[in-house]
Chains A and B, each alone.
Chain A
Amino acid sequence: MTTDTTADKIRCDACPVMCYIKPGAAGACDRYANHDGLLVRVDPHVLLERTVSHGGRLVPFQAGGDWDGKIVHEQDVFVTAIGAGTTYPDYKPAPFIVSSEIDGVDMVTVVTEGIFSYCGVKVKIDTDRFLGPETATVRVQGEAIGHVTTGEYGSQMLSLGGVHHLTGGSKKEGRVTCDALMDLSNCKPVELSIDGGATVVVQAGYPPIVNGVAEERMRVGCGSATIGMFAKQWHGKVDEVVVVDDHITGVLSEHQAGKVLDIADTGIKMKGRRSTPGRYFQVAEPGTGWGGTQISDPLTILGPFDPKVAKPGTTMLMVSTTGEHAAYYELDAALRPVEKTMPAELKFSVERIQENCEPALCTVLFMGGAGGSLRAGVTDNPVRLTRSVKDALTRVTSGGAPVYVWPGGGITFMVDVTRLPAGAFGYVPTPALVAPIEFTMRLSDYATLGGHMDHVRPLASLNVNEARQVTAPRPKAGVPS
């Protein structure tokens, strides 16, 4: 592909139309675009990835060899938006014309539209490892871009971005935040360091890398839950099991699950705060060791065995909630646990725990308030517009992906960034993120919106032709973009 550049436009020679393409714009075909002065092929990249990720077959873009005048590729899938049968409204946006059979209809024509919006990302990191205390600042290149928020089951949550970091801090803070949000939203890896905690590399759809170590699996459950799930499988094969967990450490002989199986007391003495029988809080400080604690030697969470109850030769399995750490002990004559080679059947149970742990992933939800930029300059009664979204008269999608519209005021939505086409997110130097968002509605539904226009000064329809020419945002005085 060669290009003939005139000023900042590119001349595309992909076909005889020979479009001049402005930066950020696409040619007549909507396939080739001017991306930072480079001619890029737009849609096949996206669809190729989608096709591959869906296990689809590919055909080369330009099939080699001379065409014999016959129909070729009969057995192959042609990679195109139209062929994909998917809804793929491009964020450019959306000359989305599809031909597929729906509802017994032979041909269909689709109309969509799009605008831009920004805000932040919520990151769910499947790990028990301690990433940092709640509310701790999350940094990129030393700049604060967000914070640690409440933990969820088997996962640590981060809340990143938001208008405070984007525009409320230093210029560098805003720029770094914007870059990090865009990279995370575009499914690229970003290294985050958490005050008083870990360094973690986050990439949507991939395992987190905590302090340089890739996480493999989520825990199967908390320590207590693990006891409950596997008690029967341990029964008769080992006298005591301790499932080490930074949240709730479980002890088989004391746990209700052990009691039901008539498992005898072993004289074990746990450190930490007992919650209910066989369930202990705070056996150790959080960390990146066993079961999300800081410990590397699990025996440090045990006190001396009770000599009135414990017997020499008592066997004990200690295991973390992911099965990643495990050790086997027997009490010696002095009732001290001594590590021994783990019997095969206990090894099997540890593997069973591992098997039941789901792969650990980072997931990134982009969250944005679409109401502001959409409504600004539109109406002095914005709730009418919002309401049409709430009433499902107006359907919101992001790059064609389904979104969750948060109830309450405004049009605040969340979308799984892995469901969007690659490179769907951009930025403006404000700094703010540019996210694809489509509002799809019937004109008749807009027609019922109502509202007063006293304070609305339309961007004069006189400028319509001019507006059609430009590709950059046209900020209106007094209206935040």
Chain B
Amino acid sequence: MTRKPQVGWLKDGQRLHLQDGPIDLIVEAQGSAANLRAVYDAAIGRFTGLLDELCDELPLLRTAADPERCALHGVVARRMHAAVAPFARDHFITPMAAVAGSVAEEILAAMAQAAPLRRAYVNNGGDIALHLTDGEAFTVGLIDRPDRFGVMRTAEVRADDPTRGIATSGYHGRSFSLGIADAVTVLAATAAQADAAATIIANAVDLPGHPAIVVRQTSFSRIAILVNGW
């Protein structure tokens, strides 16, 4: 029997929340009422069992990606590999670096296939897959101060832009960045590509051994503090 994901609406009643294990998705689509129903059903249907698919190949997904060949079978797993493969020759990177974006893409694809939509997104913990039809746009924002109402920066993604994926990686949170950047946000053609690229870039933002950077470990987190004019 397939384990059921958590399914529910956020309190605004507009956004669907799907959660299974470490995967948290916020899903919203715009289109006709009948289509929306089909589209959300499709999102839930595709999400169910998706984590198990990934976990079946978890050991390989956690191994450094081969830049030439992909031994993975699952469609999401193969997408993860494809996203990190371009970096695998020069960097240590595993397909897991693109897991969030790849999952977001997969769910969005299932939705778009179910019925026509004006626009939709699947936000997987900040790694976001976008669906846009002609004339539509999304505004995406980054918050640097969660205690305040408001965003630091925004970006508009229009239908005629090549961007369909956005991902953020950084020092904080669950992205296990090796670098010191608070956040690196990447806009790319796909969410999986954005996810992989954000990881690579965030890792590269580092100055190992530089006297102006102090890294400290507290009981709950590692903190890096830039000093001396850097």
Contacts and interface: CB of A to CB of B under 8 A. Distances in A.
Interface of A: 14-18, 24, 27-31, 59, 63, 66-67, 69-74, 76-78, 80, 82-85, 87, 89, 91-99, 101-116, 373, 377-379, 384-385, 395, 397, 400, 402, 426, 428, 434, 436, 438, 440-443, 446-453, 456, 458-465, 467-468, 470-474, 476
A470 B217 CA distance: 8
B220 A91 contact: yes
Nearest to A452: B228
A451 to B, nearest CB: 6
A83 B17 contact: yes
A94 B172 contact: yes
A74 B65 CA distance: 41
Contacts of B206: 461, 464
A465 B52 CA distance: 30
Interface in B156-177: 166, 168, 170-176
Contact of B141 (A77, A96, A108, A379): A108
A92 B220 contact: yes
Interface residues of B, number: 87
Contacts of B58: 17
Interface string B41-76: 100110010011001001000000000000000000
A378 B149 contact: no
Contacts of A436: 220
B216 A474 contact: yes
Contacts of A15: 3, 20-22, 51, 55
Given A15-B51, A113-B182, A458-B209, 12 more contacts: A16-B52, A31-B22, A107-B166, A110-B146, A111-B143, A111-B168, A434-B219, A442-B152, A443-B181, A443-B226, A449-B227, A461-B206
Q: Which has the most chain A C-beta neighbours within 10 Å: B20, B147, B226, B230? A: B147
A116 B219 contact: yes
Contacts of B230: 446-447
A446 B225 contact: yes
Given A83-B10, A108-B141, A110-B143, A115 B226 contact: no
Contacts of A72: 7-8
Given A73-B7, A92-B220, A102-B143, A449 B151 contact: no
A5 to B, nearest CB: 20
B144 A116 contact: no
B101 interface: no
B123 interface: yes
B223 A105 contact: no
Contact of A456 (B171, B182, B214, B226): B214
B189 interface: no
Contacts of A474: 216-217
B228 to A, nearest CB: 5
Interface of B: 3-4, 6-12, 15-17, 19-22, 24, 26, 28, 40-41, 44-45, 48, 51-52, 55, 58, 121, 123, 125-126, 128, 138-152, 154, 166, 168, 170-176, 178, 181-183, 185, 206-223, 225-230
B17 A16 contact: no
A83 B58 CA distance: 29
Contacts of B55: 15-18
A378 to B, nearest CB: 5
A18 B10 CA distance: 27
Given A71-B44, A112-B172, A461-B215, A59 B8 contact: yes
A93 to B, nearest CB: 5
Contacts of B220: 91-93, 114-116, 434, 436, 471
A41 to B, nearest CB: 13
A17 B218 contact: no
A377 B216 contact: yes
A82 B10 contact: yes
Contact of A28 (B44, B48, B174): B174
A372 to B, nearest CB: 13
A81 B1 CA distance: 29
A97 B126 contact: yes
A443 B182 contact: yes
A465 B230 CA distance: 22
A377 B217 CA distance: 11
A71 B139 contact: no
B15 A99 contact: yes
Nearest to B145: A440
A77 B228 contact: no
Contact of B171 (A16, A87, A108, A113): A113
B208 A395 contact: no
A373 to B, nearest CB: 8
Contacts of B44: 69, 71
A451 B173 contact: no
Contacts of A449: 226-229
A440 B144 contact: yes
Contacts of A442: 144, 152
Given A83-B10, A108-B141, A467-B222, A450 B146 contact: no
Given A106-B138, A378-B227, A402-B147, A94 B7 contact: no
Contact of B9 (A31, A74, A373, A472): A74
A480 to B, nearest CB: 13
Contacts of A450: 227-229
A446 B226 contact: yes
Contact of A458 (B19, B139, B176, B214): B214
Nearest to A479: B216
B12 to A, nearest CB: 8
A24 B17 CA distance: 28
B126 A109 contact: yes
